[in-house]
Amino acid sequence: MRKRFPDDHLYYSLHIFDSHEMPQDKNALNNYGEKDLLDLIRFYGQERRINDEEYALINEEEIKKEWDLAKHLIASYKYAKEYKFAKCWYKIFNTTNF
């Protein structure tokens, strides 16, 4: 993982996808991860040349919309009896309009 994410701050920003890191308070959850998400957007939203084409890997506006929905779904798994990280993400990608 460290080789793929040489920037420590970028590596740390990925913690927002772990439900155990999410706040219990619903109001706090509304703003949860915004700064880290912006760091990820700055990195992955930069245009890059891939196979002689320039494009960004992600769209900033779409990611913000998706994160607003995803963080609530991820948080809902925080207290599930049999928490399964992979099952949580499988459900997110198969039951939403991502």
Helix (H, G, I), strand (E, B) or coil at 84: coil
Residue 97's identity, in one-letter code, is: N
The pLDDT tens digits for 2-36 are 666 566 778 788 889 887 788 888 889 999 999 99
What pLDDT does residue 21 have?
85
The pLDDT tens digits for 54-87 are 888 889 999 999 899 888 888 877 766 566 667 7
Q: For the whole model, what pTM was predicted? A: 0.74
The ranges assigned to domains in the chain are 8-93
Rounded to a whole number, what is the distance in angstroms from the first to the last CA of the chain?
A: 25
The DSSP code for 46 is S
Contact residues for 14 (Cβ-Cβ < 8 A; gap 6+): 5, 36, 40
Are the C-beta atoms of residues 5 and 13 closer than 8 Å to each other?
Answer: no
The DSSP code for 16 is G
